[in-house]
């Protein structure tokens, strides 16, 4: 198992749509293990395959640390393969979001409070999960990565302008980041 470098927001791979995973292979299982190692090493609660340069519809998540005082269900570490959000509630909620590919940048994003997600677990068993709160937030954020969307895309032009100096520091490799990254644009696989 390995800790992999995370690509930053300006990498073209984060703007491309990930491909479905067709079969369970030892390489896919190793990738999932490496993604968990990378996520935990970076103090993240979610990590999508495109964030490590792999255009595959896989993400890992563990939002349990975000659930304060034990309120709400805990699901433990999860790998979601080929996830599809099949329901979004009309009720929306504003929450602060950050991203391992955009270190040190946080902003308020409005998303549905409750969702239903269908996916394959790491054993390739079909699963369906109705979820709300932090877990719903993390799943929507990571699913966006599989579709080539960043949380910055939800912000107003004014808010993005306010963040531009921080984004430039990340792109130029001048930001202090406590985990391995790929700070410049790279070729995608």
Residues assigned a catalytic role:
142
Nearest to 103 by CA among 40, 185, 44: 44
Contact 151, 99 (CB under 8 A): yes
Report the length, in residues, of the chain. Answer: 189
* Sign of the Cα pseudo-torsion (31, 32, 37, 43, in order): positive
* Sign of the Cα pseudo-torsion (79, 84, 90, 95, in order): positive
Query: Beta strand pairing status for 6-7 and 181-182?
Result: parallel
Distant-in-sequence, close-in-space partners of 37: CB < 8 Å, separation ≥ 6: 1, 2, 3, 4
- The Cα 185–Cα 9 span in angstroms is 9
The SS3 of residue 148 is: coil
């Amino acid at each position: 198992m390995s800790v992999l470098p995370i690509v930053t927001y300006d990498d073209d791979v984060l703007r491309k749509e990930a491909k479905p995973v067709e079969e369970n292979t030892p390489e896919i299982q190793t990738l999932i293990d490496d993604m968990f190692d990378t996520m935990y090493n970076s103090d993240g609660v979610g990590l999508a395959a495109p964030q490590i340069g792999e255009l595959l519809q896989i993400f890992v998540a563990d939002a349990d640390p975000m659930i304060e005082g034990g309120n709400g269900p805990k699901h433990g570490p999860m790998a979601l393969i080929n996830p599809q959000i099949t329901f979004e509630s009309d009720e929306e909620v504003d929450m602060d979001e950050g991203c391992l590919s955009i270190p040190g940048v946080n902003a308020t994003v409005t998303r549905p409070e409750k969702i239903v997600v269908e996916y394959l677990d790491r054993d390739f068993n079909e699963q369906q999960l109705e979820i709300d709160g932090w877990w719903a937030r993390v799943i929507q954020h990571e699913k966006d990565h599989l579709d080539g969307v960043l949380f910055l895309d939800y912000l107003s032009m004014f808010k993005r302008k306010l963040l531009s100096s921080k984004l430039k520091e990340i792109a130029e490799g001048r930001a202090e980041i406590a985990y391995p990254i790929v700070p410049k644009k790279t070729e995608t696989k």
